[in-house]
Amino acid sequence: MASRADKLGRMVSLVKLQLRLSEWKLAQLRQQERSLQDEQEWLVGALNDGAPPAGSSSESIARRLNRTSVGARVVQAQAAQQLDQVRAENRRVKQLEEVAKAALAEKLRDAEKRSLEEITGINPAVRAWMPPPANRNKP
């Protein structure tokens, strides 16, 4: 059976992968947010020029700008929520790493203790079954 330290190590790996996925999602949202802002700037510029691009009217550009603005606000809200999730997962990773580190240290102490017991030939389980040494000073 796998030890507690091994299990915690695997959990840390999985949580780190989840964190990387959340960071990737946040990066995607930030990129989408930048794209929408660029589109908004272009649309505002097109409206301010007074001469809309060929095949577009001022009204259609204004509607498109409105949709883009709404989309940008939605993406900003999603990005803020994703940022909160990334921060929470980052805290969770750090906490799990500390727990895993403590469990690994305990595992190493136990292994060292067993090794010392093997070297000295004294096993606590065997010692419990053995009678106490006779006291030679008794008359």
CATH number of the domain at 85, please: 1.10.287
Q: Is residue 135 part of a domain?
A: no
pLDDT for 138 beyond 70: no
Q: Determine contact, residues 40/72, Cβ cutoff 8 Å.
A: yes
The secondary element (H helix, E strand) that includes residue 44 is helix 4-49
DSSP percent split of the chain into helix, strand, coil, nearest 5: 85, 0, 15
Look at the chain and report how many structural domains it folds into. Answer: 1
Q: How confident is the model at residue 73 (pLDDT cuts 50, 70, 90)?
A: very high
- What confidence tier does 130 reach under pLDDT thresholds 50, 70, 90? low
Assess whether pLDDT exceeds 90 at residue 14. yes
Rounded Cα–Cα distance for residues 28 and 24 (Å): 6
pLDDT tens digits along 19-45: 999 999 999 999 999 999 999 999 888
DSSP state of 50: S
Residue 139: pLDDT over 60: no
Q: C-alpha 123: how far from its chain's center?
A: 42
92 in any annotated domain: yes
Which residue segment(s) compose the domain that 68 sits in? 4-129
What is residue 40's predicted lDDT score, i.e. its pLDDT? 93
Which comes out higher in pLDDT, residue 48 or 87? 87
